[in-house]
Homo-oligomer: A and B are copies of this chain.
Amino acid sequence: MDFQSINFQEKLQKFSEHWSPKIIAQMNDYHFKIVKVMGEFIWHDHPETDEVFVVLKGQLEVQLRDGVVLLNEGEMFVVPKGVEHRPVAGEECHILLVEPAGTINTGDVTSERTAANDVWI
């Protein structure tokens, strides 16, 4: 079997585009994805699943309809399923996402931000 570690920085160096999650690992039917973000995303929710954000670099604001969660490097947040949220980053921010395989980044909303959900890096 081919076992090897996955290095976040090494994977992050392989792309530069924003809001385009790349799969780096699978655990059961869940994907671990990395994504670079900057600026404002769109409001959306995931009716079927919670979603985990872990900040690897920078600062992420997760706006909610009744509040906001500020995430710094070394911090994580679980967006509960069905809760509308909008990620915003003033400067480039690197994130690790954990969510079921097949999850769409814009949830039930289709927009120019909607990205492929099956790209491995």
Contacts and interface: CB of A to CB of B under 8 A. Distances in A.
Interface of A: 1, 3-9, 24-28, 30, 32, 49-52, 56, 64, 66-67, 69-72, 74-78, 80-81, 83, 98-100
Copies assembled: 2
A27 B6 contact: no
A45 to B, nearest CB: 13
A69 B3 contact: yes
A68 to B, nearest CB: 8
Given A30-B30, A98-B27, A66 B9 contact: no
Contacts of A9: 74
Task: Tell me the dominant secondary structure on chain A's binding face.
Answer: strand
Contact of A5 (B4, B8, B69, B81): B69
A3 B98 contact: no
Contacts of A3: 64, 67, 69, 77
A65 to B, nearest CB: 10
A9 B6 CA distance: 22
A69 B74 CA distance: 23
